[in-house]
Structure 1
Amino acid sequence: MEIAILLVEDSPGDVRLTQEAFREANMDVRLHVAVDGVAAMAFLRREGDYHHAPRPDMILLDLNLPKMDGREVLAAIKADASLKMIPTVILTTSDAEADIFRSYELQANCYLSKPVELEAFESLVSRINEFWLTTVKLPQRQKAVGSDLPAIAG
């Protein structure tokens, strides 16, 4: 079964590396790319050119983006009832403690720092695949849409 991942990344080099690494790690991954935060939200909300965009099974989100930064995108995702269940993994070059803290405060599911070495980056993508797409149980797409979710007694 095809796995849809939204990669929100403005660096063409990092996009290419991620595409190649997933191609080697898992042929079932279909990587969709948004080059800024505004495009990411349009994709997720299926607006404009993204009217037929699939609901991603996972989001890989850079923090330093043009137009709308990754922190704003993360906050918008987690504030939206129809999107908040999508696992959102921060994948960024920042090792700043403030960025790590803020990302988890905004309910990121995971925070990963991009390694600069090619082999280390490929290894990281392989581990993302192994953990998030092989080991972890993700909500089924048709169950994560809204009205067909089971009621939770309060």
Structure 2
Amino acid sequence: MVSDVEHGDELVTILLVEPSPGDTRLFTESFKDAKLTNQLYTVSDADDALDFINQRGEYATDPKPDLILLEPNVPGTNGTDVITELNDEPALADIPVVILTSSAAGEDIIKSHGIDADHYVQKPVEPEDYIGFVQEIEGFWMAIIQEDPVGN
């Protein structure tokens, strides 16, 4: 059974940075199918991701994400630049980042650029595998909460 992923008394706000409309749709549907009622926001490029994370422009009233799912090959500012900015800003450095790779070699490619994310996950190839993928993301979040039970 998959439970809601909660952070304290609030649901977790997840930002998905994914350029593929098809993958975005599969993520969104999989979160619903897995009965996760977290707040899932999606953007399709790194520039919008940085605006969302920093609550700028059209994203000024949206919540700061608790977890970021990042496809590093996004249009605009490079996905690795998003991680660099997060790491360089003390107010943002604590937001966990899960890098979504499209191949087993993806993690090595990202690490070769000197970028170290919190977790690397290979995106599913088949649509029916997305539920298990979403559950893996939930498991990652639960591990973070157990490491930091007071949310600091």
Q: What is the TM-score normalised by the length of structure 1? A: 0.81
Q: What one-letter code is carried by the residue in structure 1 that aligns with 2:48?
A: A
Q: Which residue of 2 aligns with 1:7?
A: 16
Preserved contact between residue 78 and residue 84 of structure 1 (Cα < 8 Å): yes
1-structure distance, mates of 2:49, 2:70: 9
SS in 1 for 2:16: strand
Q: Which residue of 1 aligns with 2:39?
A: 30
Preserved contact between residue 78 and residue 107 of structure 1 (Cα < 8 Å): no
1-structure distance, mates of 2:86, 2:119: 14
Q: Which residue of 2 aligns with 1:150?
A: none
Within the alignment, does 1:59 sit opposite 2:68 as a pair? yes
| Inter-CA distance 110–133: structure 2 relative to 1 (3 Å threshold) | closer
Match among 121, 124, 128 for residue 115 of structure 1: 124
SS in 1 for 2:90: coil
* Superposed displacement of residue 133, structure 1: 3.5
Instruction: State the percentage of identical aligned residues.
Output: 35
SS in 1 for 2:52: helix
1-structure distance, mates of 2:112, 2:95: 18
SS in 2 for 1:136: helix
Match among 69, 84, 97 for residue 75 of structure 1: 84
2-structure distance, mates of 1:52, 1:75: 24
* Superposed displacement of residue 14, structure 1: 0.5
Q: What is the TM-score normalised by the length of structure 2? A: 0.82
1-structure distance, mates of 2:73, 2:85: 16
Preserved contact between residue 60 and residue 90 of structure 1 (Cα < 8 Å): yes
Point out where structure 2 has 5 or more consecutive residues left out of the alignment.
1-9
Q: Which residue of 1 aligns with 2:140?
A: 132
SS in 2 for 1:74: helix
Q: Which residue of 2 aligns with 1:101?
A: 111
Preserved contact between residue 23 and residue 29 of structure 1 (Cα < 8 Å): no
Task: Report Cα offsets for 1:55-113 as digits up to 9, x if no partner.
Answer: 1110000011001121111111111111110010001214325424247x423000111
SS in 1 for 2:124: coil
Matched residues, number: 141
